[in-house]
Structure 1
Amino acid sequence: MKHLFASIGIALLASAAGAETLSISCGAVGAEFELCKEGVDQWALKTGNKVNLVSTPNSSTERLSLYQQLLTSKSQDLDVLQIDVVWPGMLASHLLDLTPYVKNTEQFFPGMLQNLKVGNQLTALPWFTDAGMLYYRKDLLEKYGQSTPVTWEELTASARLIQDKERKSGHDQMWGYVWQGRAYEGLTCDALEWVYSYNGGTLIDSAGKVDVTNAGVIKALDMAKSWVKTISPEGVLNYAEEEARGVFQSGNAVFMRSWPYAWNLAQAENSPIKGKVGIAALPMGGTDGQHASTLGGWQLAVSKYTRNPALAADLVQYLTSYEEQKRRVIKSAGGYNPTIPALYQDDDVIETVPQVIDLYYVFANSVPRPSTVTGDRYGQVSNAFFNSVHSVLSGSADSAAATRDLQRKLTRIMKDK
Structure 2
Amino acid sequence: MNRKRFLAAVLGTAMIIPACSGGSGDNKPAGAAGAEPQNKPKAPVTIEFAAGLDATGEFAKSIERFNKSHPDIQVKYIELPQVPNEQLTRYTTWFNSKSKTPDLLMADVTWPKMFASAGWIAPIDEYISADFLKQFYPAAVDVAKIDGKQYGVQGWIDVGMIYYRKDLLEKYNQKIPQTWSEMEQVAQEIMKKESDPNLVGYVFQGAKIEGATINWLEFLWGNGGDVFDANGKIKVDTPKAIEAMKKMHALVHTSKISPVSVATSSPNDNQIVFGNGNAIFMRNWPNTYTSLKETKVSEKYDVMPIPKFEGGKSQPSTGGWVYVINNSSEHKKEAAELMKFFLSDAEQKSMLLQTSKIATNRNALADPEVASKQPISTVAQRLLETAKSRPALRAYEQFSRAMQTEINLVLNGQKDPEQAMKDAQKEIDKIKE
Describe the SS at the equivalent of 2:247.
helix
Tell me whether 191-200 or 220-229 shows the greater mean CA deviation. 220-229
Describe the SS at the equivalent of 1:107.
coil
Deviations 1:269-318 (A, max 9, x none): xx1111111011101112x0110211101111111111211111100110
Paired residue type of 1:240:
S
- Contact 1:248/1:256 (<8 A) preserved: yes
* Matched residue, 1:233: 259
Describe the SS at the equivalent of 2:183.
helix
* Matched residue, 1:4: none
- Contact 1:267/1:275 (<8 A) preserved: yes
Deviations 1:202-246 (A, max 9, x none): x23595322223222222211111121511111111001111111
Deviations 1:6-65 (A, max 9, x none): xxxxxxxxx97421111111231412xx11111111111101132111121211011011
Q: How far off is 1:87 after superposition?
A: 0.4
* Matched residue, 2:36: none
State the TM-score, normalized to the length of structure 2.
0.86
1:369 aligned onto 2:390: yes
Deviations 1:186-208 (A, max 9, x none): 1000111011111121x235953
Paired residue type of 2:92:
Q
Describe the SS at the equivalent of 1:90.
helix
The match for 2:364 among 343, 359, 375 is 343
Q: 5 Å matches for 1:29-48?
A: 29-31=54-56, 34-48=57-71
**Length, aligned pairs only:** 387
Paired residue type of 2:422:
R
Aligned partners of 1:16 and 1:53: how far apart in 2? 24
Describe the SS at the equivalent of 2:190.
helix
* Matched residue, 1:141: 169
- Contact 1:130/1:363 (<8 A) preserved: no
1:274 aligned onto 2:302: no
* Matched residue, 2:352: 329
1:304 aligned onto 2:341: no
Aligned partners of 1:215 and 1:16: how far apart in 2? 66
Deviations 1:132-188 (A, max 9, x none): 110001111101111111111111111111122222xxx321111100010111100
Paired residue type of 1:28:
L
- Contact 2:143/2:154 (<8 A) preserved: no
Which ranges in structure 2 are unaligned for 5 or more consecutive residues? 1-39
* Matched residue, 1:152: 180
The match for 1:210 among 219, 234, 238 is 234
- Contact 1:26/1:36 (<8 A) preserved: no
State the TM-score, normalized to the length of structure 1.
0.89
Aligned partners of 1:379 and 1:354: how far apart in 2? 34
Q: How far off is 1:110 after superposition?
A: 1.6
The match for 1:385 among 394, 399, 403 is 403
1:398 aligned onto 2:416: yes
The match for 2:314 among 291, 295, 312 is 291
- Contact 1:194/1:220 (<8 A) preserved: yes
- Contact 2:161/2:306 (<8 A) preserved: yes
* Matched residue, 1:354: 375
Paired residue type of 1:110:
P
Aligned partners of 1:225 and 1:127: how far apart in 2? 35
- Contact 1:94/1:304 (<8 A) preserved: yes
Paired residue type of 1:379:
E
1:114 aligned onto 2:142: yes
Paired residue type of 1:161:
E
Aligned partners of 1:210 and 1:329: how far apart in 2? 36
Superposed structure 1 runs of 4+ greater than 6 Å apart:
none
* Matched residue, 1:52: 76
Aligned partners of 1:147 and 1:40: how far apart in 2? 47
Paired residue type of 2:125:
T
* Matched residue, 2:337: 314
Larger Rg over CA atoms: 2
Q: How far off is 1:329 after superposition?
A: 1.3
The match for 2:206 among 172, 181, 186 is 181
The match for 2:103 among 79, 83, 88 is 79
* Matched residue, 2:25: none
Describe the SS at the equivalent of 1:282.
coil
Paired residue type of 1:392:
V
Q: How far off is 1:378 after superposition?
A: 1.1
* Matched residue, 2:220: 195
Which ranges in structure 1 are unaligned for 5 or more consecutive residues? 1-14
The match for 2:52 among 15, 23, 27 is 27
